[in-house]
Amino acid sequence: MTKHTCTLMHCDTMVRNLLPPMRAEMVYRLVQREGLSQSDAAKRLGVTRAAV
């Protein structure tokens, strides 16, 4: 594998493993601590309400 391909694989792995828990923590803070609705939290994060 080339170095470029290897780097892309590492980035893909990080995105798949790190973003969901980070997004979940952001949603938790927006909804529980800040009192936003799930719809408002979804709008702020740029995702659908179903993703929240």
Where are the domains positioned within the chain?
20-52
Distance CA 11, CA 25 (A): 21
State the residue for tokens 């179903």: 50
Question: Taking 70 as the threshold, does the pLDDT of residue 19 lie above it?
Answer: yes
What pLDDT, on a 0 to 100 scale, did the predictor assign at position 32? Answer: 97
Question: Taking 70 as the threshold, does the pLDDT of residue 4 lie above it?
Answer: no
What pLDDT, on a 0 to 100 scale, did the predictor assign at position 7? Answer: 77
Question: Taking 80 as the threshold, does the pLDDT of residue 5 lie above it?
Answer: no
Name the token pair of 39: 């719809």
Question: Taking 80 as the threshold, does the pLDDT of residue 14 lie above it?
Answer: yes
What pLDDT, on a 0 to 100 scale, did the predictor assign at position 1? Answer: 55
